[in-house]
Amino acid sequence: MASDLHKLIQQSTKIDNGPPVRYHLHLKRVNLDNETNDESKLRRFTLGECDPKHPNKTILLVGATGSGKSTLINALVNFVIGVEFENKVWFEVISDEKDKSQSNSQTTTVSVYEIYGFEEKTVPFSLTIIDTPGYGDTRGLEYDNIVTDKLKSLFCVQNGIDTINVVGLVMKASENRLDERLAYIFNSVTSLFGKGMEENIVIMMTHSAGGKPKHALSALEDAKITCARDTKGQPVYFQFNNRQNETLEEDSDEEEESQNAFKTSNKGMKKFTDFLNTTHAQSLKTTVEVMKERIRLTACIQNLRERVEEMEMKQKVIAMNKKELSIYKAEMEKNKQFDLIETYKEKEPIIAWWDTKAVTCNICEENCHHPGCTWAWSPRSCEVMKKGKCTSCTGKCPVSAHVKEKFKYVVKTRKVAKNEMKAKYEENKSKSEEKTTLLQDLEKEMVQLEKNKKQSLNEAFHIIQQLQRIALNEVSASTFIHLDFLIEKFNEINDKDKVLVLEKMRDQIDEKNKTAANYLKRCVIGKLKGLSLY
């Protein structure tokens, strides 16, 4: 066995006698988010020392839980190191998915593996592999979104990743259709990048027996997955076998089969690394700006949606109060007391396991960035802040008016005495304003609420158009969650022109990635429904 393999064995811990003998490589670890080992969600593991004279190629791998991504990562490392079938050894930097406990498979950790010191062994470059946790966890869409947020964080933290050569979408070669969840996963990841990344997105087919994966390719076509294409317009894909680490029995036929499987996988590795060698690194500077802008716009549209829903709740309350005032008109003229209803805001703790802290405005009493504020340590570093002011809340208030905590604003209702409500209206009037009845005050507020609602809807309409223009997936499934809401509201105010634009946008989503959009539509949570007035 070559001396460099002996050195690696000395740096490893044996985990199985094999054959092949399996070793876990000891790598140098750095937590990029400066958290403890138990708490860190962004980790870098390094083997060897970086030599600047050699180029480095960076791969981002994304796939569903059970897709074989872990074995693929280990296979890439073994190929670069130069492990041959005859060596009867196998090195691992990550545990295979079937060896993980359920709890471990549900972490939200993004890991970076750097492999230095083996340049010119099989490839002329060092290798950086970004491993995302398996999407498709049993905890649902909320978990998937946390994984995506952690990936975004990797591109923004100090000493994180600033270039990528290839994005590998991992799927089994036996897939005959992309279920809604997998389609959503691929859609979400490709939506992270700018338009220049398309030629660097490839398909990594695992569990391959070597033949052309016709059904899997058809599934990709049906789902309209954005990726690189060959001269025939087919998705660029590479096939790998996942049997390299399986223990061999003392049977010559089995060894021959395993050797053929090893050769099949190495053939795929050779094709993939040859492709990788021809790629130019894509700077993530544009990607990060796209991400930040998408975060900012998405937060704004969520805030606007909450404002519209609050206004509608107020309108409903006013309508009820007007009805009460007409019923008790005689008592009102005698200045008798009775109760009406008012809306108010109150901060409530965020209790969902998957939910993060919210950035809120103490002046406007609004949720400026929620859900999804995962990057920022404080309001000042939150993506909705720009030039020292919030881009989300109604007053576009300064950073100093905001907090980030495990609380969010919730609109509620309560009973209030008629005279107390009247006093509040009078208190808010200027000296020059004429005195009016409570009924007139309510009618005036109803008109103003309708005007404000239209203004907020128009602002949301323009933001959703911006969202569609700035990413690789021009029609992103993540936009889908707001479309039905906006279409319904513009129908209510009879703005047919905007309804047509939004319906066309929705039809494009259905046509381009219907399965992903349907998955998101069914799974999305947090949509306010049936707000109680008591």
- Work out the number of other CB atoms within 10 angstroms of the CB of residue 318: 20
Kindly provide the b/e burial profile for residues 212-221, where b requires at least 16 CB atoms within 10 angstroms of the residue's own CB. ebeebbebbe
**Looking at residue 483, what is its pLDDT?**
83
CA distances from 533 to 2, 315, 324 (A): 75, 12, 15
3-state secondary structure of 526: coil
Q: What pLDDT digit, counting tens, does each position of 31-54 carry?
A: 988 888 888 888 999 999 999 999
Q: Give tens-digit pLDDT for 96-111.
A: 544 444 444 445 688 9
Identity (one letter) of the amino acid at 329? K
pLDDT in the model for residue 104: 44
Q: What CATH number belongs to 3-283? A: 3.40.50.300
Q: Specify the pLDDT at position 142.
A: 57
3-state helix, strand, coil in the chain (%, to 5): 45, 20, 35
pTM to 2 decimals?
Answer: 0.74
Phi, psi angle pair for 403, to nearest 5°: -135, 155
Q: What is the pLDDT of residue 101?
A: 44
Other CB atoms within 10 A of residue 203 CB: 23
First-to-final CA distance of the chain: 76
> What is the domain partition of the chain in residue ranges?
3-283, 292-350+406-523
In a 3-state reduction of DSSP, which class is residue 240? coil
73, 134 Cβ separation under 8 angstroms: no
- Show the low-confidence residues of the chain (pLDDT under 70): 1-2, 95-108, 134-148, 194-195, 250-252, 330-336, 352-355, 374-375, 470-479, 509-534
What is the SS3 assignment for 304?
helix
| Residue of 320, 366, 323 lying closest to 345 (CA atoms) | 366
As a whole number of angstroms, the distance between CA 186 and CA 226 comes to 8
